């Protein structure tokens, strides 16, 4: 085994590239930094504020919160988290509540945090220069002895002892390890928003409550999540063809998009249709993709994957960001403690891959139960089984 892979015995500091500055990649960078290694995160976005970071995440006690503790950020996380966001209710299309739970005082099994707040927390924990902005990966190619060269669209080319693909569902690193590609799940989300919801839409504020509300029936769903600052994000879900956002609905025309969605949910209760009638004039498509289960590969020196690059799945078990962060934390520990990088990656993948398989199976089951002909019955059963 080449000494270039060694994190302890090499005559120079090992070079680690993390492709992607999402939660998993940033946790990995933080853990490596804490343990004396110097990674570089390459993020294709031009800056931390180049785009909105999306909705809210529930940080699970056995995964996301474990990662934050290993990263030394659990106290800062607790100051930003919203335990009341654990509240959940499930309705049918008539507006009848079929399941509801409220977080007890002091309960912190899966408190919510806005994605933007989480990313800011992680970025502020890193040294200057760790994250390089505006670096979109074009290709990775081997250069011998387990090292790889990363080529970026801005013309930069650099060589690394380890490249970690944390670059999401359409990873440019994954093809060097696996021929698998994400497949359309049959479900598409359209994301809509409400600003200043407590003042402008008090009826919807009450409907959503402090956490999340899922209205499910007839292979469709209206899934609303409360974010901080009186913001509510709604995911309009339906089983539609993969090309529906191109040929079945005009999302660039707010009036036309609203009319199409209202027609799709025409027989739903008026209180729920307000989520479509009164939302802001922005309609964002979110088709759901998942990698095959199981998604496995043979360990290859100098490369590995984490998060969606390794195991993209539907969001219905709340696993994606949590697993990505746990991946990053555990890989960081392994790289700092193993005698060489190849051993570290083998140890990491031996734990990560079966864990991801179990989570992906649960996520697929959640999707099948939520966006189903007999929903919300199957979804309620799924939630109760997961609660024990």
Domains and CATH numbers, the chain: 3-85+112-182+291-366 (3.50.50.60), 183-290 (3.30.9.30)
Work out the percent of the chain whose per-residue pLDDT is above 70: 96
pLDDT at 4 over 60: no
pLDDT of the residue at 233? 96
Q: Which of 62-71, 96-105, 129-138, 323-332 has the lowest mean pLDDT?
A: 96-105
pLDDT at 8 over 50: no
pLDDT at 7 over 50: no
Joined tokens for residue 269: 């209760």
SS (H, E, C) 177-237: CCCCCCEEEEEEEEEEEECCHHHHCHHHHHHHCCCEEEEEECCEEEEEEECCCCCEEEEEE
Contact assessment for residue 45 and residue 69, using Cβ atoms and an 8 Å cutoff: no
Write phi, then psi, for 189 (nearest 5 degrees): -100, 145
| Separation CA 182–CA 7 (nearest Å) | 33
Write phi, then psi, for 264 (nearest 5 degrees): -60, -35
Q: Is 72 left (phi over 0), alpha (psi -120 to 50) or beta?
A: left
342-387 pLDDT per residue, tens: 999 999 999 999 999 999 999 999 999 999 999 999 888 888 877 6
pLDDT of the residue at 17? 98
pLDDT of the residue at 12? 62
pLDDT of the residue at 1? 30
- Which residue from 90, 86, 79 is spatially nearest to 105, judged by alpha carbons? 86
Q: Which of 52-56, 89-93, 135-139, 249-253 has the lowest mean pLDDT?
A: 52-56
> Coil, strand or helix: which one is 318?
coil
169-199 pLDDT per residue, tens: 999 999 999 999 999 999 999 999 999 999 9
Question: Mean per-residue pLDDT for 251-278?
Answer: 97
pLDDT at 238 over 70: yes
pLDDT at 9 over 90: no
pLDDT of the residue at 15? 96
Q: Is 146 left (phi over 0), alpha (psi -120 to 50) or beta?
A: left
Q: Kindly give the interhelix angle for 320-337 and 23-34, rounded to the nearest 10 degrees.
A: 30
Q: Where are the beta strands (DSSP E) in the chain?
A: 16-19, 39-43, 56-58, 88-91, 97-101, 112-114, 131-133, 137-144, 147-152, 157-160, 162-165, 183-194, 212-217, 220-226, 232-239, 284-290, 303-305
pLDDT at 322 over 70: yes
Query: If you search the block for the tokens 């990698």, which residue do you land on?
Result: 291
* Residue-averaged pLDDT of the chain: 93
| Separation CA 267–CA 249 (nearest Å) | 19
Q: How confident is the model at residue 388 (pLDDT cuts 50, 70, 90)?
A: low
């Amino acid at each position: 085994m080449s000494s270039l892979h060694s994190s302890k015995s090499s005559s120079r500091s090992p070079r680690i590239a993390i492709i992607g500055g999402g939660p998993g990649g940033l946790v990995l960078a933080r853990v490596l930094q804490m343990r004396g290694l110097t990674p570089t995160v390459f993020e294709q976005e031009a800056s931390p504020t180049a785009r909105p970071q999306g909705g809210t995440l529930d940080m699970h006690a056995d995964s996301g919160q474990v990662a934050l503790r290993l990263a030394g950020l659990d106290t800062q996380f607790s100051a930003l988290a919203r335990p009341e966001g654990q509240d959940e209710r499930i309705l049918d299309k008539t507006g009848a509540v079929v399941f509801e739970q409220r977080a007890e005082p002091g309960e912190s099994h899966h408190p919510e945090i806005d994605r933007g707040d989480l990313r800011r927390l992680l970025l502020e924990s890193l040294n200057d220069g760790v994250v390089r902005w505006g670096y979109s990966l074009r290709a990775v190619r081997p250069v011998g002895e387990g090292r790889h060269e990363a080529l970026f669209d801005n013309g930069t080319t650099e060589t690394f002892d380890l490249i970690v693909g944390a670059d999401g569902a359409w990873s440019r690193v994954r093809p060097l390890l696996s021929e698998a590609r994400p497949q359309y799940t049959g479900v598409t989300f359209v994301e809509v928003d409400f600003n200043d919801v407590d003042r402008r839409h008090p009826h919807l504020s009450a409907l959503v409550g402090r956490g999340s509300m899922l209205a499910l029936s007839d292979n469709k769903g209206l899934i609303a999540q409360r974010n901080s600052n009186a913001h509510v994000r709604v995911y309009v879900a339906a089983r539609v063809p993969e090309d529906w956002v191109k040929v079945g609905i005009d999302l660039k025309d707010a009036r036309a998009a609203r009319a199409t969605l209202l027609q799709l949910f025409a027989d739903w209760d008026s209180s729920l249709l307000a989520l479509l009638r009164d939302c802001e004039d922005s309609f964002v498509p979110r088709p759901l993709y998942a990698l095959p289960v199981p998604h496995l590969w043979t360990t290859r020196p100098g490369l590995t994957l984490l998060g969606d690059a390794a195991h993209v799945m539907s969001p219905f078990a709340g696993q994606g960001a949590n697993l990505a962060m746990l991946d990053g934390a555990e890989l960081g520990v392994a790289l700092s403690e193993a005698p060489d990088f190849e051993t570290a990656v083998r140890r990491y993948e031996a734990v990560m891959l079966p864990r991801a398989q179990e989570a992906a199976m649960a996520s697929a089951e959640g999707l099948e139960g939520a966006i189903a002909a007999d929903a919300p019955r199957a979804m309620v059963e799924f939630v109760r089984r997961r609660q024990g």
